[in-house]
Amino acid sequence: MDAPTVLQRLEHVGVVPRAAEVIHGLRERFPDLLVGAGTVLNASTAKAAIDEGAQFLVSAIAPPDAIAYGRQRGIAVIPGALFPAEVLSAVTLGADVVKLFPASLRGPGYLRALHEPFPFLRLFPTGGISAANVHEWFAVRALELMRGVMRAREKAG
């Protein structure tokens, strides 16, 4: 069975029991699906996820050891940050993209404001984005940016 056409990428949140096994099962059942691990808090969590087939790592924070491990293994790493210093720290540590989390605390205008002095930032807003407000995020091209980043990463790797 193929993954639905609409569903091409999936982040599996790592706080569920036996998360690494779930990643393995998803990769086995849907080989064309890009599967990532979420809630990666340290290098050991990153290792377990990658060993079971995770193709990218996501976290609400920017754990230096997990970022370094993901980079060492050639896996896209998307750590989380909210404030400018946290975002720049994540980029310095080697983040491919920074998860702006929780984005709803600041809103789309904040994303625009971050891009003004730092146009090189690749930010992916999450947390509090819903059907009711997604149009506001599209207005600042946030979701288009993330889609483009993931496509570029897939072609590169």
List active site positions. 11, 99
The pair of three-digit structure tokens given for residue 5, joined into one six-digit string: 């056409």
Q: Are 155 and 127 in contact (CB under 8 A)?
A: no
**Contact indicator for 8, 34 with CB cutoff of 8 Å:** yes
Reading the block at residue 83, the tokens are 């404030």
Q: What are phi and psi of 67, to 5 degrees?
A: -65, -45
Residue 138 CA to residue 130 CA, distance in Å, equals 12
